[in-house]
Amino acid sequence: MQTHLADDIRKSEQGREAEQILRSCVHCGFCNATCPTYQLLSDELDGPRGRIYLIKQVLEGSLPTRKTQIHLDRCLTCRSCETTCPSGVRYGRLLDIGRSLIEKKVERGHLDRLARTSLRLIFPYRRRVRPLIELGRKLLPLLPAGLRRKVPHRTNPVEAWPEPRHSRAMLLLHGCVQPAAAPQIDLAAARVLDRLGISLVQPANGGCCGALSYHLGETDEALNFMRRNIDAWWPRIDAGAEAIVITASGCGVLIKDYGELLKCDRDYADKARRVSAMSKDVAEVLFDLDRSAIKTKGLVAFHSPCTLQHGQKINGVVEKILSDAGLILCQIENSYLCCGSAGTYSILQKSLSERLLAEKIKALEKGRPDWIATANIGCLLSIQSATEIPVRHWIELLDE
At 63 the pLDDT is: 92
> Among candidates 17, 15, 79, 86, which has minimal Cα distance to 48?
79
DSSP string of 108-147, one letter each residue: PPHHHHHHHHHHHHHTT-HHHHHHHHHHHHHTGGGS-HHH
> Among candidates 204, 206, 249, which has minimal Cα distance to 226?
206
d(CA 206, CA 178): 13
d(CA 343, CA 218): 15
At 382 the pLDDT is: 94
At 40 the pLDDT is: 95
Q: What is the pTM of this model?
A: 0.92
**Residue spans of the chain under pLDDT 50:** none
Q: Are the beta carbons of 250 and 377 closer than 8 angstroms?
A: yes
- The phi, psi pair for 107, rounded to 5°, reads -85, 130
> Chain-centre distance of CA 210, in angstroms?
11
